[in-house]
Amino acid sequence: MKRKKIPQTTIARLPLYLRHLLKLARKGVRIISSYELAEHVGTNAAQLRKDLSYLGEFGTRGVGYDVGELIRQISKCLGLTREWKVAIVGMGKLGPALLGYKGFEQEGFKIVAIFDKNPKKIGKKMGNLVVSDVTNLKEVIEKVGGVDIGIITTPASAAQKVADQLIEAGIRAILNFAPVTLEVPSHVFLRQVDLSTELQILSYYLTRPFKFPPPCGYCEANRDL
Amino acid sequence: MKRKKIPQTTIARLPLYLRHLLKLARKGVRIISSYELAEHVGTNAAQLRKDLSYLGEFGTRGVGYDVGELIRQISKCLGLTREWKVAIVGMGKLGPALLGYKGFEQEGFKIVAIFDKNPKKIGKKMGNLVVSDVTNLKEVIEKVGGVDIGIITTPASAAQKVADQLIEAGIRAILNFAPVTLEVPSHVFLRQVDLSTELQILSYYLTRPFKFPPPCGYCEANRDL
DNA sequence: CTATGTGAAGAACTTCACAGCT
DNA sequence: AGCTGTGAAGTTCTTCACATAG
């Protein structure tokens, strides 16, 4: 096939495929069919095959996909063969919770700096890091040799300013947990994780008599039904 | 217009419009144009007008939209005129962080029960609630008169079982933070909030030379660029 | 003259269905 | 025979462009 641009929706599903493949690999499974893998991830076989076809031809007709090979290919595609450096800004309740999540490091996301503006928190040790003053964000990020991804866990009121600082410090990707729509220049990638929004979406569907639009599993990755 | 089914993507954007409208209302703004509102939410005017047109005709041509009226209409559409009862399962780090988030209550989501399976946590007071044993999930939920939305903040390994219990207890909407793809019957609405997935998506875009696919703001609500 | 509301065109994504390998 | 890979058809969402109303 002429390699075409990978759809955004495919990108959003690849991590789900990868997660299940890793689980299979741990169990010692070596081959899997599109049907089985799709089912575990809440899609259908055609979707999965189409998704994978954007990355290349890794399957064996009549057999299925080699689990190890798929893991390698998806990891490569997602840029997970290298380590990314992450900073978290906002050490209220959510920040430390994320910091404590062991999954990050295992998946190649290394938290290298944490920030807050509260003097009571600055200097405090959390995990194996010390909380820096957000005022010095740029300098601290320079000192650790740059950061790839910034996570914002501040209150909404501070989020835009923090985003600006992160961008000023050269960060190109932001994951925002604060309940505001951030404005970022177009070269910066932004993902929003938004609790109230999610609840409000659920609220909408709860008010409808019954499943008239399909329940949406993960963002664009809607489950079949 | 003949009222057609509201697209899922529109539903996902309504909370963002609502949030900004509330901010405007607090500032005393009474009228807003599709252009201004769209800009603050990271969409374009045509999109916004189309979205609102699914709910009805609330604008005044040549003038704009009445902020108060829009707030009422969107709230009504999203089912935010009533209170929803919420239970959180998993009082590790994330659960308490969510519990402490004041936004919930204000937006009509009332947390009425919290659960864990760790005996050291059961019986402990958190906020103004006491942690219940997840084993008694169904009974506790009955005792509080039913729950509308279940939030799962357990480790991945426990999440499916908890989901099954929640469904067994009559819950119709689940917000899952655990990094697994849950299987739920089709009458249950599921939304997934997934940290590693979000980071991996950012990772993908970081490996690309530059903004070749548009950075996706909030799920389907992609920003213009 | 300004800003909404909306058919129609266009783009993006999903599903179908079958050809092509093993 | 069995399962992948993929054009083509179908569906959903977005953008355009202009009629319509104040």
Nearest to A150 by CA among A178, A128, A119, A122: A178
pLDDT value of residue B69? 98
Confidence of residue A208 (pLDDT cuts 50, 70, 90): confident
B155 neighbors B93 (Cβ within 8 angstroms)? no
pLDDT value of residue B210? 61
Residue A138 token pair: 């740029």
pLDDT value of residue B61? 97
How many residue pairs bridge chain A and chain B with CB atoms within 8 Å of each other?
235
Contact list, B186 vs chain A (CB under 8 Å): 211, 214-215, 225
**Angle CA(B203)–CA(A90)–CA(A108) in degrees, nearest 5?**
25
Which nucleotide, over all strands, has the C1' atom closest to the CA of B12? D13
Touching A: B residues 106-165, CB under 8 Å: 107-109, 148-149
User: What is the number of other CB atoms lying within 10 angstroms of the CB of residue B148?
Assistant: 22
Which nucleotide, over all strands, has the C1' atom closest to the CA of B37? C3
Nearest to B33 by CA among B65, B6, B1, B62: B65
**Angle CA(A133)–CA(A138)–CA(A141) in degrees, nearest 5?**
90
Interface test with A, best of B6, B219, B220, B224 (most A CBs within 10 A): B219
Residue of B nearest to A204 (CA): B78
Is the pLDDT assigned to residue A222 strictly greater than 60?
A: no
The answer to whether some atom of strand C lies closer than 7 Å to the beta carbon of B35 is yes
The spacing between the Cα labelled CA in A187 and the C1' in D3, in angstroms, equals: 41
Confidence of residue B18 (pLDDT cuts 50, 70, 90): very high
Mean pLDDT of chain B: 92
Confidence of residue B196 (pLDDT cuts 50, 70, 90): very high
The answer to whether some atom of strand D lies closer than 7 Å to the beta carbon of A1 is yes
Residue B17 token pair: 């419009």
Mean pLDDT of B121-139: 97
B85 neighbors B144 (Cβ within 8 angstroms)? yes
> Could you tell me whether strands B173-176 and B149-152 are parallel, antiparallel, or unpaired per DSSP bridges?
parallel
Residue with the larger pLDDT of the pair A222 and A154: A154
Q: Taking the model in full, what pTM does it have?
A: 0.93
Touching A: B residues 86-105, CB under 8 Å: 86, 93-94, 96-98, 100-101, 103-104
Mean pLDDT of B162-182: 98
User: Which residues on neighbouring strands pair with residue B87, listed in sequence order?
Assistant: B113, B150
The spacing between the Cα labelled CA in B187 and the C1' in D6, in angstroms, equals: 33
Mean pLDDT of A34-61: 97
Interface test with A, best of B4, B110, B203 (most A CBs within 10 A): B203
Nearest to A193 among B101, B198, B211 (CB): B198
DSSP, collapsed to helix, strand or coil, labels residue A218 as: strand
Is the pLDDT assigned to residue A210 strictly greater than 90?
A: no
Contact list, B12 vs chain A (CB under 8 Å): 197, 201
DSSP, collapsed to helix, strand or coil, labels residue A62 as: coil
* C-beta atoms of A206 and B148 within 8 A: yes
- Least confident range from A206-215, B48-57, B132-141, B195-204: namely A206-215
pLDDT value of residue B211? 52
> Could you tell me whether strands A109-116 and A31-32 are parallel, antiparallel, or unpaired per DSSP bridges?
unpaired
Summarised one tens digit per residue, pLDDT across range A105-148 is 889 999 999 999 999 999 999 999 999 999 999 999 999 999 99
Residue A15 token pair: 């991590």
Nearest to B173 among A202, A214, A219 (CB): A202
Q: What is the dihedral sign for C-alpha B176, B41, B20, B1?
A: negative
Determine contact: A192 vs chain B, CB below 8 A.
yes
Summarised one tens digit per residue, pLDDT across range B80-108 is 999 999 999 999 999 999 999 988 889 99
Nearest to A207 by CA among B77, B53, B111, B15: B77
A213 neighbors B5 (Cβ within 8 angstroms)? yes
Mean pLDDT of chain A: 92
Summarised one tens digit per residue, pLDDT across range A165-200 is 999 999 999 999 999 999 999 999 999 999 999 999
Contact list, A20 vs chain B (CB under 8 Å): 181
CA dihedral defined by A139, A141, A142, A146, rounded to 10 degrees? -160
* C-beta atoms of B189 and A215 within 8 A: yes
Summarised one tens digit per residue, pLDDT across range B58-84 is 999 999 999 999 999 999 999 999 999
The spacing between the Cα labelled CA in B66 and the C1' in C3, in angstroms, equals: 13
Amino acid identity of B192?
Q
User: Which residues on neighbouring strands pair with residue B113, listed in sequence order?
Assistant: B87
pLDDT value of residue B3? 66
Amino acid identity of B217?
G
* C-beta atoms of A197 and B12 within 8 A: yes
The answer to whether some atom of strand D lies closer than 7 Å to the beta carbon of A158 is no
pLDDT value of residue A225? 21
pLDDT value of residue A3? 67
Pairs from A99-105 (Cβ < 8 Å, separation ≥ 24): A99/A126, A99/A127, A99/A129, A100/A127, A100/B93, A101/B93, A101/B195, A103/B179, A103/B195, A103/B196, A104/B195, A104/B196, A104/B199
